[in-house]
Amino acid sequence: MSKESFMNEAIRLSFETMRNNTGGPFGAVVVKNGEIIARDFNRVVSTNDPTAHAEVVAIREACKALNTFQLDDCEIYTSCEPCPMCMAAIYWARPSKVYYANSKTDAAGIGFDDDFIYKELELSYDKRRIPLVRMMEKEALEAFKEWAAKSDKTEY
């Protein structure tokens, strides 16, 4: 299959989720060695899960299919430029490349504007809409110390 056929599938999925009222118009496909490993669409509304964006759901499915937590040598085709959360998930999954169709500006034009997140992250914790308050760091650091000393851990 061609890059265009993979993107056509991501776009088709964006229509499917929108028309079925399961979520916003977003679809994603994960490809490895020229084959679709996983495909999914936005499931935010149907699952009541604000993290169920097309890219995240497709990444989860691809990792299950490949029995791994990293998508080495995979490509992601997504109908829209990934939001900040999806970009973070993509970086953690480590695919080799991401192709996208609609831009974040296109998404903002229909009400999916993530610019406020970028602006929030630049603010000090106490100035954010949702304050980030640190507490019990001494107790929590014990888990980090134990992890650092753990000899049988799986690095990721």
**Catalytic residue annotation:** 55
Phi/psi of residue 134, each to 5°?
-85, 140
Contact 49, 135 (CB under 8 A): no
Q: For residues 12, 62, 49 and 26, what is the CA-based torsion angle, rounded to 10 degrees? A: -20
Query: Please, is 18 exposed, middle or buried when counting C-beta atoms within 10 Å of its C-beta (0-12, 13-18, 19+)?
Result: middle
Q: CA angle, corner 66, sides to 55 and 12, nearest 5?
A: 35
DSSP state of 135: -
Angstrom distance (rounded) from CA 82 to CA 100 = 8
